[in-house]
Structure 1
């Protein structure tokens, strides 16, 4: 999967690839990240054929706070 250069064009913008054994874990991580930083939210989860677990990609702006609990 390619990283869109516009998503990381400035300091403080990051792309996070998350891998875990199951979808619930990946979603829990994405939810936690959106409480810390402004993120793209809960994104689609996918599997890579022949590799264990699931993956997701999250875009975040670490300069901006997320939603407080």
Structure 2
């Protein structure tokens, strides 16, 4: 997967790749992260053939709480 430069164009913006044993675990992590920071939310989960676990990617602004509107 390619990381678009706009997703990390300024301090506080991050791209997080999450890998877990199952979809429920990965979704729980994404939910916990969106409670803490402004994120892209619960994103699709996928499996890569030949690799263990499931994966997801989300984008976050670690300087902004999810309740911030601006």
TM-score by length of structure 2 reads 0.93
Q: Does 1:40 align with 2:22?
A: no
TM-score normalised according to structure 1 size: 0.94
1:66 CA displacement? 2.1
The alignment's C-alpha RMSD in Å is: 0.7
Q: Return the structure number with greater strand share.
A: 1
Runs of 4+ in 1 over 4 A off after TM superposition: none
Distance 1:29 1:9 in 2: 24
Is there any run of 5+ residues in structure 1 with no aligned partner, and where? none
Tell me the equivalent position of 1:61: 61
Query: What are the Cα deviations for residues 11-66 of structure 1, in whole angstroms up to 9, with x where unaligned?
Result: 00000000000000000000000000000000000001100110000100011012
